Structure 1
Amino acid sequence: MVKSALPGWLWLMVAAGVLTQTTANLVRPVTSYKLISLGWGETEIGIATAAYALLPLFLALPFGRLQSRLKSPRNFVILGILILAIGAAYLALTDHIVQLMIASAVLGVGHLMFTIGGQSMIARRSSATQMDANFGWFTASFSVGQMLGPLLSGIILGDTSLTQTQAGGDDFIFSVNLALWIGAITSIIAVPVLYTMRASQQSPVTQTQDIVVVEPGTKPSAFNILKMPGVASHMLAALALLAILDILVAFMPLVGESMGVSPMVIGALLAARGATSVISRIFIQPLSARFSRNVLVLVALLVSGATIAVVPLVLGLGTPGVVAAFIFMSVGGFTLGVGQPMTMTMISQAVPRSWRGPALALRLMGNRVGQVVLPIAASVVAGPVGPAGGVWFACAVLGVSGAERLISRRTGRNPLRTSGN
């Protein structure tokens, strides 16, 4: 993936990404199990998932504008990590439904701050020809966390489904809260890691980075960013690709419980999804050298939607069904892993260089809109259909985004093609 050694700052961001995403992806499925153990169901889990994204929905664009004015995003990123840890600890300390929703919102703000700051750092310090690769490595760290977090949660919670134990049993509640505390501690480890990084560094500037121009004095408002060619379509794809991850984390525990599948198996399934996303992101640069970003994003949307939709259909069919579920989840995870870094690069290069921070923040705001609206919609679908309906709904959103790209003919060469891509 790389022609030379990765720069030290990128290794540090990757390490911090692994730690923080392990926290987020350990805590979030465990939160679903905590709600289940307290007697709550699909609707409350959908609301908790939406609460995770609600505050970030309103904070994403202001935070992005703040990033464009900061000399370095490092301290902003570190503050986000601390808030993430506070959210995880808060989830461990309370059993009250309203406080659990608030704690989920705090967790979401911390995750947003880390993500915005991290993306801003990558965009600032990467040359145009290395942007795919650097975003690939950064998002690969997210996928490692998405693999480790559910795996750890499955190990901690054990191989017996909650329906096979006494509901709300003290041992299970203890394991749930232990997992939440481990999540909080894991993210805090990232703070000293980032303090070894230089606070600022000049980013390499090339002609390609400044190819998009606007009228002097035009401000990077949400409306002006969305007017740029292709940006709205790229943001829809990013929203769909992220929504499926959130809904899988929130609803797969419910799918497993409805079929008598243990938390360990569900955790391993989610970990398999994360593992194959890591593999695909390691090979982002050779993939983008061979295929256009438009094609890669289209494949990510359509193949992921089709394969992941099969998982709930086969999961309850005994051992062969579980094996099949791992295969389909792994294929879907591989293609999902390609999509997110591609949308980051496409949005970054579709706007002027000085607009990249706000544009990437707007992308995250769009993602948070999806994280608020789609889990609630998924919970409504899951009510009459069952928990699998939430997963199928998310897969349908992937299909809609893929159809939009086909209709708008975003299937060819990169509009802003750089050397090495």
Structure 2
Amino acid sequence: MSDASGSGRGWLIRLVIAFGFAQSAVSMARPAVSYRALALGADERAVGVIAGVYALLPLFAAVPLGRRTDHGRCAPLLPVGVVLISGGCALSGVAGSLPAMAAFSGVMGLGHLCFVIGAQSLVARQSAPESQDRNFGHFTIGASLGQLIGPIAAGRLISADDGQLARTSALALVVAAIVAAVSLTSTWRLEHRRESVRVPERGATVPVGGILRTRGVPAGIFISLAVLSATDILTAYLPVVGEHRGIAPATVGLLLSLRAAATVACRLVMSPMIRLLGRTVLLTVSCLLGALLCAAVALPLPIWALGTVLALLGFCLGVGQPLSMTTVVQAAPAGARSTALALRLTGNRLGQVAAPAAAGLIAGVAGPGAPFLTLGFLLLGATGLSLRGGNGKPGHGSRPSRPAGPGAQPASGPPAAHRGTEGTGA
């Protein structure tokens, strides 16, 4: 593992730029896909299915792609991911049927997964241990910028012509494809060719069932699933709520970006909050407040109140992903932490498939606000599990205060090495 500073940090700057463009494209495309589906005659059920298909291919690909990066180069996944994102966006923009839109949404999701796995593995491999916190912090700037800019850009493009939702949503998707393609200019020669891939020596392979039976791992996976499902359904269903309440697409985009900005603000103050409250209390409180705020989104609130609720919800949702990752890493057996993280990612994708589809069915029966009530119950379940599965004490945000799980050792390396996925939906 090389020190980034020793070989120049130009690769990291270019990776941040590439990630910013790629994440902007995805953040533009997700609400645009919902609007285009509505323009093609989709109801709430169909919007939920299309949103779920976004994660269907990644559901099966996450663990194999993670293993591939463990035993080979990381950088080739970046251009592959960009091409899939760009192609999925462009084809969604010209698709004339809902099944085609669902398929191309899946292509987009697979591309995003490829890019995230390749990028986070690249940062982990090319950063010295003492530089990983800093480098991953800089890396996530790309995701933060994309999540802030993408929804606003999509909202403005879709609102450009109020009477032509099909045309403007298609335009937003084509623009998203172009934005994704721009990131190709920064994805070349990021990986030091002289780097040798070193696979850490492990003891006996821990079976997947054994990992899932380890105390704390199922809780961390479910908490991550619940938080990511909440974020995804907010992105996919706020346009539907906006249509029913007469909220302009540009305003919906602004609200989504407000949620993303609050999540970024939360992660900027994560370490002080952990020192003050400890991981278990912080995780429990954030899930409980998130459940109540999700339920509040279903209420017929004025715009200013809805914006306040979404900002607070975004702050609460910012806690779950990084702390659930730490929970899984600390609880897993020492020789199976990477596999446990891959299972966590698989759980995330399962939630992205099942939650929007279930939300679509619920919305079709009980109205567009009902999925947010369902999310509230999901986060209440995460609240209970966080009390049972949490093992954190006040202290440094990425380091356990004591070993957790069979054979576990202090895990200063893995949490930092995988923190770059946070804020990307991975």
TM-score for the superposition, normalised by structure 1? 0.83
Within 1, Cα distance between the matches of 2:65 and 2:289? Answer: 33
What is the aligned counterpart of 2:250 among 250, 258, 264?
Answer: 264
Within 2, Cα distance between the matches of 1:352 and 1:199? Answer: 31
Q: Structure 1 residues 200 and 291 mapped into 2: Cα distance closer, same or farther (>3 Å)?
A: farther
SS in 2 for 1:195: coil
Within 1, Cα distance between the matches of 2:60 and 2:373? Answer: 28
SS in 2 for 1:313: coil
Within 1, Cα distance between the matches of 2:135 and 2:224? Answer: 18
1:217 is aligned to: 204
Within 1, Cα distance between the matches of 2:25 and 2:122? Answer: 21
2:406 is aligned to: none
Report the alpha carbon displacement of residue 57 of structure 1 after superposing the two structures with TM. Answer: 1.0
| 2:291–2:379 CA contact under 8 A, matched in 1 | yes
1:251 is aligned to: 237
What is the aligned counterpart of 2:166 among 173, 182, 187?
Answer: 173
1:233 is aligned to: 219
Greater mean alpha carbon deviation, residues 127-136 or residues 288-297: 127-136
Within 2, Cα distance between the matches of 1:131 and 1:352? Answer: 22
What is the aligned counterpart of 2:311 among 316, 327, 330?
Answer: 330
RMSD: 3.1
What is the aligned counterpart of 1:198 among 191, 197, 209?
Answer: 191
Report the AA paired with residue 264 of structure 2: V
Structure 2: segments with no counterpart, 5+ residues: 395-399, 404-409, 417-426
Greater mean alpha carbon deviation, residues 378-387 or residues 40-49: 378-387
| 1:128–1:418 CA contact under 8 A, matched in 2 | no
Structure 1: segments with no counterpart, 5+ residues: 166-170, 316-320
Q: Structure 1 residues 241 and 133 mapped into 2: Cα distance closer, same or farther (>3 Å)?
A: farther
| 1:91–1:104 CA contact under 8 A, matched in 2 | yes
Percent of aligned positions that are identical: 34
Greater mean alpha carbon deviation, residues 59-68 or residues 345-354: 345-354
What is the aligned counterpart of 2:261 among 275, 293, 299?
Answer: 275
1:100 is aligned to: 101
Report the AA paired with residue 323 of structure 2: M
Report the alpha carbon displacement of residue 371 of structure 1 after superposing the two structures with TM. Answer: 0.9
- How many pairs align? 395
1:405 is aligned to: 386
Report the AA paired with residue 42 of structure 1: E
Within 2, Cα distance between the matches of 1:104 and 1:89? Answer: 10
Q: Structure 1 residues 10 and 335 mapped into 2: Cα distance closer, same or farther (>3 Å)?
A: farther
1:149 is aligned to: 150
Report the alpha carbon displacement of residue 263 of structure 1 after superposing the two structures with TM. Answer: 0.7
Within 1, Cα distance between the matches of 2:138 and 2:224? Answer: 17
2:347 is aligned to: 366
Matched, 1:61 2:63: yes
Matched, 1:187 2:180: yes
Report the AA paired with residue 40 of structure 2: L
Q: Structure 1 residues 83 and 357 mapped into 2: Cα distance closer, same or farther (>3 Å)?
A: farther
Q: Structure 1 residues 133 and 346 mapped into 2: Cα distance closer, same or farther (>3 Å)?
A: farther
Q: Structure 1 residues 135 and 390 mapped into 2: Cα distance closer, same or farther (>3 Å)?
A: farther
TM-score for the superposition, normalised by structure 2? 0.83
Q: Structure 1 residues 98 and 78 mapped into 2: Cα distance closer, same or farther (>3 Å)?
A: same
Report the AA paired with residue 94 of structure 1: A
Within 2, Cα distance between the matches of 1:63 and 1:263? Answer: 36
Greater mean alpha carbon deviation, residues 336-345 or residues 281-290: 281-290
1:168 is aligned to: none
| 1:42–1:383 CA contact under 8 A, matched in 2 | yes
Report the alpha carbon displacement of residue 387 of structure 1 after superposing the two structures with TM. Answer: 0.7
Report the AA paired with residue 114 of structure 2: M
Greater mean alpha carbon deviation, residues 337-346 or residues 379-388: 337-346
SS in 2 for 1:95: coil
| 1:52–1:105 CA contact under 8 A, matched in 2 | yes
2:299 is aligned to: 313
1:16 is aligned to: 18
